[in-house]
Amino acid sequence: MLNLANSFRLRNKLKERIGAVTSAIADAEFSKTEGTKESTSPCDGKTLEEAVCEVDMLMGLLQDLNVRIEKVNLVNRDSLIELETIKAKIAFYNTITRKCRRIRAYEFECDEKGERVKVAKEPLIDQGKMTAVLADLKKKKDALEEKIAAANFTTAVDIDPDTILSWI
C-alpha cells in the first residue's frame, strides 16, 4: 500500500521510464545486417522487441496505477475543483490589480488651443479592494493545497509498489 503522494511520485517515475525506453526505441535501428547480432546498446542491453514489450507492459502498469489513484483521489475531488476555480480567480484578479497599479493620477491632454493641459484621472475600481480580494484568494488557495496535501499523505492506494519499482 502507498499513500497518494507516494503514488504520484511513483507515477512520475514510471512515466520517466516509459519516456526513456520509448526514446531509446526511436533512436534504435529497426534492421540489421543479415546473419549478424542485433545491437542492443541503444535499448540498454535489450533487443528492440524486448524494449517494445517493456514499454507496452509499463503502459499497462501506468494505466492500472492511474485507475487506482483516480478511485481513491475522489476524496480530493471537490477540493481540486474548488482549487481550479480559485486559481482562475487569482489569475483574473492579478490582471485587474496590475491594471490598477498602472493608473496615473493625471495625464496631459491638448486643449482646444493645442496647449498641453494636466487632467486629473480617477480610478474606476478601488485598487485596495482588489488587492484585498486577491490576498484572500491566495490564503484560500494555500489552505486548500494544505488540505489536499494532508489527504494525499493519509489516503491509501491499493497497489504493491515493488511491482512498479522493479521496472524503474
Task: List the beta strands (DSSP E) in 9-158.
Answer: 106-110, 116-120, 156-157
User: pLDDT tens digit string along 5-59?
Assistant: 999 999 999 999 999 999 999 999 899 889 999 988 888 899 999 999 999 999 9
Within 13 A of 61's CA, how many CA atoms are on the CB side?
25
Contact 43, 30 (CB under 8 A): no
- Chain-wide mean pLDDT for the chain? 93
Residue 101: CB atoms within 10 A of its CB come to 10
> What cell does 42 get?
541503444
* Residue 70 pLDDT exceeds 90: yes
pTM for the full predicted model: 0.73
* Residue 1 pLDDT exceeds 90: no
Buried b (16+ CB within 10 A) or exposed e, 5-39: bebbebbeebeebbeebbebbeebeeeeeeeeebe
Residues 6+ apart with CB under 8 A from 66: 11
The residue written with cell numbers 496647449 in the block is 115
Three-state secondary structure call for residue 118: strand
User: pLDDT tens digit string along 72-118?
Assistant: 999 999 999 999 999 999 999 999 999 998 888 888 888 888 888 88
Report the number of distinct structural domains present in the chain.
1
User: Which structural domain range is residue 64 located in?
Assistant: 2-165
